[in-house]
Structure formats: structure tokens, C-alpha cells
Amino acid sequence: MSKVFILSAGWGLIGAEFLTPSYDITFSLSADRYKRRRNSDRYHDLCMLRENTDDDIVFFGGKDYLPLFCALTAKSRGRRLVYYNSGNVPRLSGCTLKRYETTTRTNWHYECVHAFLEGQIGAI
């Protein structure tokens, strides 16, 4: 089983090899209203992460996805590391937070993942 997961506003926490049909749902406030998922919306999200896993989890993504990430990984027993880029430190319980310094604002997490894979920044 792959250890790479994608956090999707439309599907939940899915394995990278999981094929989805075309969809257009996002947490982004800049998207058209019909595409936006609000935190108060009720979805039956998938969570393909093994329940009560001891594996450490590293999150790369925008701040709007953090509540869903925390909800879907709450039962994990491993450590959870969240990279963030905003000037404000996210308020998260049970996670280790690391600010990723970059001047990139849009899609900064792609750069962060690359730095992680190249060993320029570390895991937990």
C-alpha cells in the first residue's frame, strides 16, 4: 500500500493511486461559489489511512485544508507534522508545526514537497 495520500475537498484522505472521476470542489474562497466546500458542509469523507496507524504523517497544503486533515487523522497514533506558510501560526492540537519559509504565495506547498523529497527540509 502506498504511503502517499492526497487530501481532497471532494473525497477526503485518499491514496495517491486511487482514481477519482473528474470533480471540482475546493476550500478556496477565490473559487466560484458552487465549487466551494465550507467547513460547516456535511460530507461523507473517505479516509484511506489505516485506522490507528503508528506511522508519522507529514502534511503539505493550504490552511483551508487543515481542519479536514486534523479530523481525518485524529485517531492516528503517529506524530503529525504540518508545514505551513502563513504569517499566522495555525492553531492545531496534537500536531507539530513547522513554518516553510518562501516568497512563493500560490501553491507554495509544491516547493515545500520538493524540498522535503530532496532532503533540504526534514520530517519529524
pLDDT of residue 60: 94
Dump pLDDT digits (tens) for 22-48. Answer: 889 888 888 899 898 887 788 888 899
Flag whether 92 is in a domain.
yes
Q: 31 CB contacts (<8 Å, ≥6 apart)?
A: none
Compute CA distances 5 → 18, 33, 105, whole Å. Answer: 9, 27, 23
pLDDT of 1 over the 60 cut = no
Q: Is residue 13 part of a domain?
A: yes
pLDDT number for residue 29? 82
Domain that residue 24 falls in: 5-117
- A 10 A CB-CB count for 78 gives 14
**89 occurs within a structural domain:** yes
Q: How confident is the model at residue 69 (pLDDT cuts 50, 70, 90)?
A: very high
**Helix and strand counts by DSSP (H, E) for the chain:** 2, 6
pLDDT above 90 coverage of the chain, percent: 47
Q: Judge whether 53 and 80 are in contact, CB under 8 Å.
A: no
- d(CA 98, CA 62) in angstroms, rounded, equals 13
pTM: 0.83
C-alpha cell at 2: 502506498
* Mean of pLDDT values over 48-59: 90
Domain count, the chain: 1
Band of the pLDDT at 90, cuts 50, 70, 90? very high
Position 54 in a domain: yes
User: What is the C-alpha separation between 6 and 54, in angstroms, rounded?
Assistant: 19
| Cα 66-81-37 angle, rounded to 5 deg | 15
Decide if 80 is inside a domain.
yes
Judge whether 122 lies within some domain: no
Amino acid 26: pLDDT: 87
For residue 123, being part of any structural domain is answered with: no
